[in-house]
């Protein structure tokens, strides 16, 4: 029996969106949907109100939002924990997929052994839509519990711009100094943007 295989990679954005929505949605509504975004990733965060404004019926909007939520969860599911972290790029390769599209700041702590083998990764803080507050005690509570010799911190900027704020710099210095007292070295603090990232160590902003 011959199988009719549909190659989704050859389809346009309009064709793909049409397939994810109910058949009653016409191409004009799809085009209106695409005009509301600057990049395809923004489809993941469209609200029911925004979809209503371009004329999508409630059933279609619900179907679309459910599909985008599933796509977001698949995309942001944690990568397999690496065995070693040897440089900032390796840390970014692990953190970027799961953090770049979050709509609020999340601070994660990567716990390492003396030989830089990865012990665990822990979420130490989840902020509001535009800020995150993390204290050294939360960071080192995790590190001590896991018997870490060193740590790498990572947090995201929902704005997409990874440029460190004054608060980012101050917190990094406080955590670095606290780690020096405790004997748990802060190796780096990485900030994840949309498709960009920065290393506080490479920028010499840690001491």
Average pLDDT over residues 185-194: 94
pLDDT at position 28 over 80 = no
pLDDT tens per residue across span 116-138: 899 999 999 888 655 666 889 98
For the chain, strand residue ranges (E) read 106-112, 118-126, 150-156, 185-192, 197-199
CA atoms within 13 A on the CB side of 183: 5
Domain boundaries, the chain: 11-76, 88-199
- Is the CATH code 3.10.20.30 the one for domain 88-199? no
Q: What is the DSSP letter of 39?
A: S
Name the more confident of 139 and 134: 139
Name the more confident of 8 and 118: 118
Which pLDDT does position 186 carry in this prediction?
96
Average pLDDT over residues 3-12: 58
Q: At what angle do helices 58-76 and 88-99 cross, to 10 degrees?
A: 160
The residue length of the chain stands at 207
pLDDT band at 24 (very low <50, low <70, confident <90, very high): low
pLDDT band at 97 (very low <50, low <70, confident <90, very high): confident
* 151: Cβ contacts below 8 Å, ≥ 6 apart: 109, 110, 111, 112, 139, 143, 179, 184, 185, 186, 187
pLDDT tens per residue across span 147-164: 999 999 999 998 889 999
Which pLDDT does position 22 carry in this prediction?
60
Average pLDDT over residues 92-121: 89
């Amino acid at each position: 029996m011959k199988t009719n295989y549909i190659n989704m990679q050859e389809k346009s954005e309009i064709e793909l969106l049409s397939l994810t929505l109910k058949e009653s949605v016409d191409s004009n509504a799809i085009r209106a949907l695409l005009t509301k975004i600057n990049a395809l990733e923004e489809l993941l965060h469209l609200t029911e109100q925004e979809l209503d404004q371009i004329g999508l019926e409630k059933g279609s909007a619900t179907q679309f939002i459910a599909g985008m939520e599933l796509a977001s969860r698949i995309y942001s599911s944690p990568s397999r924990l690496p065995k070693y972290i040897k440089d900032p790029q390796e840390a970014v390769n692990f953190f970027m997929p799961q953090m770049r599209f979050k709509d609020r700041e999340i601070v994660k702590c990567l716990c390492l052994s003396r030989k830089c083998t990865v012990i665990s990764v822990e979420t130490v803080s989840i902020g509001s839509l535009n800020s995150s507050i993390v204290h050294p005690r939360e960071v080192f509570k995790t590190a001590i519990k896991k018997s870490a010799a060193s740590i790498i911190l990572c947090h995201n900027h929902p704005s997409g711009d990874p440029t460190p704020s004054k608060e980012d710099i101050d917190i990094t210095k406080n955590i670095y100094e606290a780690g020096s007292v405790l004997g748990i070295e802060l190796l780096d603090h990485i900030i994840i943007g949309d498709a960009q990232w920065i290393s506080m160590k490479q920028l010499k902003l840690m001491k």
